[in-house]
Structure 1
């Protein structure tokens, strides 16, 4: 039976109701989700992706088998009855093979006939479909369980139509982003990664720069400055006093902090102001001092334009590990807005032939956001969400795209997720997250999403405009990325123990010497 495929014999037969894009077949063996099959139909040979696989046994039916002993007996009988087990599979038709070989996706308009034979797609057929060529195509791994069939994605679509990488913690999402950064670097592209948790601190690639996120308060609106100082959102009196003190003269002053404190002191010592306002002004001064002490390297009025920290045609890892959640949101909002405005200028000046020297980014920019559900939440309006939604809607016209990375899709703003033209979905176990993906994106089917808990680390379902057709892929490992692995707590404790014991031995030796 194992030689059936090599002999050109069918894997199974279509049964029941068939549609142009969907059919069910019964097979002689268990069929894996993610396998590709082929079927002859009226319009030609079609390629299909197995989205669901089921095995049933009449003799082992729980309505019949009511005890352990009866299960043992039923198993014995079933093992001798080749007709007992039924292997069925649901298949999504992805296109006519002849068209797919030409790089075109054309789903047949007529369904295959029930009773039609279903075959395993040969390695040659898969190679002819997936071995796409062109400068915009880049390798990300291999087709799942087909190690000789390369899986490629269209980097142009990532740079124009946005991408969401959705996966549970530890499933390999940061490795995939690192791989895309590597491929972008090889293409001389520009990417900005907002690294909120230090995942990419050890990433080493050609044309990569690590940048400590800094913001110049002179360039911010008063409300953003208040957020940067970690002032409570509902502290209306404090924010009001800061707005009064944050004058144009303060913004332009050579000694920014002294000028700001000077304005706050004027309010605190104003005999005409009520006592509460004077107390609030003194409290705001304390908040400013605390922020300078804790985040002095981040809040820098002397750095000029923060965008100058970034390099075109490089991978820019923007380190935000030192920032609070609110401060990181301010930084993301600022950088995204400024990058979009710069690309708008590039487009305008480019049409006039005047872009040289007048813009920072003369070619498209990919912005990647880790922990996207934190900064683009479903249930809260934020500045970062506002500008991200704008980029999701308008960015492709100006050459700015988003890669949003999240392990909790159900907490991610639905409008942003629905704008993603491509998806990479890895292992996700939460039913709420699975349901949210189906509701938010027309790219994902329920049957395929139900399989996500079965994916192993580094395996992904790729959907949308960046792939020729839906595929399950084993993602290539990026050796240049060292972070993201679980901490070896026991190993670190044992090193501490060795260090302590070594110090004790040194101390004992010194005490035992005769001077």
Structure 2
């Protein structure tokens, strides 16, 4: 371990520590250029002192306290006192955030039950020490890139902690989120096997993973109505503010139960008890026809025909359903052509899990071709199906099925404040709260973290934060972090593109990382107006653009 003394402690505040740098003298202290050389087995190693994000250690009674530099300042050393006594004031002060203890055996442990006191010595930290700490913590050799301030050091993370306890990739537009996601998943794809589902909102990742991935156009992916549970179906059909809503709900549940139980195919499945949530095929039109009959039913009365008990009770419900049935955008839900039997459910899950004849490690579901109001229903159903599959897989196999779901642009459909996002948000919140027990992982990707469900983000134990300059978003992320890490959020606005600060359970200590460049890169590059507008004019094929727009197909 390095024993190069650079200064002393001058203030301890619980969640931060102030130190004063000593002037350079032989083999201690820090020169004016802030660069020191420490002796290692490989020879002298230059280290820049005071750079926010770098590490130092402080002598304490049970070893060394490892800290990160979060700030540096100069103080005026002029003594304006009228007394004749001369006071030597510190002029270079660093603020540190403590993270853990390095014991006498050079083993790192998060946290500390002892803090330093005034005049405790502060030491430089060698790259070998940092490498040992990262290597001992990470599971395997999974790395996202290099440490920004120690480019020779791999940024090793514990992948199990990132995925099993959920994570968030946050950053403003242009900060490198797509770059980071592509690089992250390309590294996962290098493992012997994986099951990753990426909800791609803008069609950016189609060509980013080569043969490792299966690409699914969501507009051609059938997610049939009979996969929905009773509550999801009622949300599509019933307006709960309507006076007839209780009758509509009660009758629908009765008819749904009967339709599922009486269907010939389902009777051959040997299911002991089929209920309204059992994922088996039923004839939706059969139920609607019964609603229509009851809605117009006339019965014999003492003075001739009169309206039946439910006459007129379902008119609005039928109007709402008919509007969706007549909307071609909902065909993938209400008019399935492929998955229209209970037996076909197996083929559907093989497709969305990448478990077809040639298994794929990543499944990209491109949501860009489908409209927003349909998109929310599709995502809700996908997330709920993924959770239920993992739940029942563990029940019968007594081990988890590791499934990682990456939600791109999550603020658009897991929104805390948008009522139209409710169904998708509730499905994601269930995974966030219970998924860890069954191997279902959720990774949130967003440029507007304060709009994402607070319940989901509160369950994320790792935050990969790229550049965030918006003060409101910075403040929101700051509230998600422990008080001891709050000061680190001040670095968010100075991060380069593709550079992040990783905080949480998957990394031994907060780490500033330069993400490895993905190869190939996603289709998310900014348009170069200058370059494009300096090229000769080319005639635009406007009719082909309009034709694709009308057909909703490129």
Normalised-by-shorter TM-score class: 0.7 to 0.9
Partner of 1:429: 469
1:321 and 2:368 are equivalent in the alignment: yes
1:22 and 2:32 are equivalent in the alignment: no
Rounded to whole Å, the distance in 2 between the matches of 1:486 and 1:241 is: 50
Question: Is this contact kept in 2: 1:21–1:111, CA < 8 A?
Answer: no
CA drift at 1:36? 0.9
Residue among 168, 185, 199 paired with 2:172: 168
Are the structure 2 counterparts of residues 88 and 178 from structure 1 closer, same or farther at C-alpha, using a change threshold of 3 Å? same
1:219 and 2:231 are equivalent in the alignment: no
Rounded to whole Å, the distance in 2 between the matches of 1:490 and 1:269 is: 65
Residue among 437, 440, 447 paired with 1:397: 437
Question: Is this contact kept in 2: 1:268–1:279, CA < 8 A?
Answer: no
CA drift at 1:319? 1.3
Question: Is this contact kept in 1: 2:223–2:332, CA < 8 A?
Answer: no
1:288 and 2:307 are equivalent in the alignment: no
CA drift at 1:320? 1.0
Are the structure 2 counterparts of residues 408 and 138 from structure 1 closer, same or farther at C-alpha, using a change threshold of 3 Å? same
Question: Is this contact kept in 2: 1:238–1:284, CA < 8 A?
Answer: no
CA drift at 1:141? 0.9
Partner of 1:408: 448
Q: Render the CA deviation track for 1:174-194: whole Å, top value 9, x for unaligned.
A: 222222322322221211112
1:94 and 2:99 are equivalent in the alignment: yes
CA drift at 1:466? 0.6
Are the structure 2 counterparts of residues 134 and 409 from structure 1 closer, same or farther at C-alpha, using a change threshold of 3 Å? closer
Q: Render the CA deviation track for 1:478-515: whole Å, top value 9, x for unaligned.
A: 122322221335556677932469xxxxxxxxxxxxxx
Rounded to whole Å, the distance in 2 between the matches of 1:494 and 1:260 is: 62
Rounded to whole Å, the distance in 2 between the matches of 1:495 and 1:300 is: 47
1:141 and 2:158 are equivalent in the alignment: no
Rounded to whole Å, the distance in 2 between the matches of 1:421 and 1:148 is: 27
Rounded to whole Å, the distance in 1 between the matches of 2:291 and 2:431 is: 37
Partner of 2:349: 307
Are the structure 2 counterparts of residues 49 and 279 from structure 1 closer, same or farther at C-alpha, using a change threshold of 3 Å? closer
Are the structure 2 counterparts of residues 234 and 186 from structure 1 closer, same or farther at C-alpha, using a change threshold of 3 Å? farther
Rounded to whole Å, the distance in 1 between the matches of 2:234 and 2:534 is: 44
Partner of 1:338: 385
Query: Which region of structure 1 is more displaced relative to structure 2, 47-56 or 106-115?
Result: 106-115
Partner of 1:497: 537
Residue among 392, 396, 416 paired with 1:349: 396
Question: Is this contact kept in 2: 1:131–1:149, CA < 8 A?
Answer: no
**What is the number of residues matched between the two proteins?**
459
Are the structure 2 counterparts of residues 260 and 169 from structure 1 closer, same or farther at C-alpha, using a change threshold of 3 Å? farther
* Structure 1 spans left out of the alignment, 5+ residues: 1-5, 60-82, 356-361, 502-515
1:368 and 2:406 are equivalent in the alignment: yes
Question: Is this contact kept in 1: 2:380–2:427, CA < 8 A?
Answer: yes
Rounded to whole Å, the distance in 1 between the matches of 2:529 and 2:313 is: 50
CA drift at 1:18? 2.3
CA drift at 1:243? 10
CA drift at 1:50? 0.7
TM-score for both structures, normalised by structure 1? 0.75
Partner of 1:71: none
SS in 2 for 1:479: coil
Are the structure 2 counterparts of residues 99 and 343 from structure 1 closer, same or farther at C-alpha, using a change threshold of 3 Å? farther
Partner of 1:67: none
Partner of 2:214: 209
Question: Is this contact kept in 2: 1:195–1:320, CA < 8 A?
Answer: yes
Partner of 1:191: 196
* Structure 2 spans left out of the alignment, 5+ residues: 22-31, 35-48, 79-87, 265-280, 299-306, 542-554
Rounded to whole Å, the distance in 1 between the matches of 2:252 and 2:129 is: 70
Rounded to whole Å, the distance in 2 between the matches of 1:307 and 1:443 is: 43
Residue among 426, 446, 454 paired with 2:494: 454
Please report the RMSD computed on the Cα atoms of aligned residues, expressed in angstroms: 4.0
Query: Which region of structure 1 is more displaced relative to structure 2, 188-197 or 122-131?
Result: 122-131
Residue among 53, 72, 88 paired with 2:72: 53
